[in-house]
Amino acid sequence: MQTLTKTAQITRGTFYLHYKDKADFLLQTERQVVDEWFFHAETITAVTDTNTAAGVLQVTGFDLNAALEYADKHHQILATLFDTQFPHFREYLLATLIQKLYQFGLNFEGKQQNFHMTENEIPASYLASAFMGMIMQWLADDRRFSYSHLGRSFAALLPSPEATRLREWFITCNLEK
């Protein structure tokens, strides 16, 4: 705790005014990083939908370029939080990714009428795990590739028909060619 407050240049009293303890601080930090990441990357997009009069549906998607730019800019904190000593961060990020994919599927497929959670559980887990694993490895490799190259490579893997329509949550049109 002394190292933490010294590094942050605050007193222990100030620290405990905002946090119950070190665990509370870590939990709030982990959630804040995930929330900021999604705030930076989520955007409204139009996807093709033949079931609507306009032929398109506006949904919240995940801009890969913006998400990877955020990861590049905040690589130090993300690399730290992906360390095995912070398992809650990985669990929280993965759960959030899966939940956002489900939310996209529910909105896209007309709430629960056409969207079946059991049919989409494996594709959602696959896509969320693939994205998170890619980020973790990229950070472990000290960001060997540019984030735009990483995004193009990930986007190239998305067309798998087994990934269902959930793959459209990842917005790839903003990636440089």
CA–CA gap between residue 45 and residue 170 (Å, rounded): 10
- Over residues 77-118, the pLDDT tens digits come to 999 999 998 899 999 999 999 999 988 887 766 655 666 677
What is the structure's pLDDT at 6? 58
Asked if the structure places residue 176 within a domain, the reply is: no
CA–CA gap between residue 120 and residue 102 (Å, rounded): 8
- Report the SS3 class of residue 46: strand
Asked if the structure places residue 10 within a domain, the reply is: no
CB 81 within 8 A of CB 26: no
Asked if the structure places residue 8 within a domain, the reply is: no
Asked if the structure places residue 85 within a domain, the reply is: yes
Asked if the structure places residue 42 within a domain, the reply is: yes
Low-confidence residues of the chain: pLDDT under 50: 4
Asked if the structure places residue 15 within a domain, the reply is: no
- Report the SS3 class of residue 56: strand
Asked if the structure places residue 74 within a domain, the reply is: yes
Helix (H) or strand (E) holding 17: helix 12-18
Structural domains of the chain, count: 1
Cα–Cα separations (whole angstroms), residue 34 to 6, 61, 67: 25, 16, 11
For 122, the domain range is 22-171
Asked if the structure places residue 177 within a domain, the reply is: no
Question: pTM to 2 decimals?
Answer: 0.80
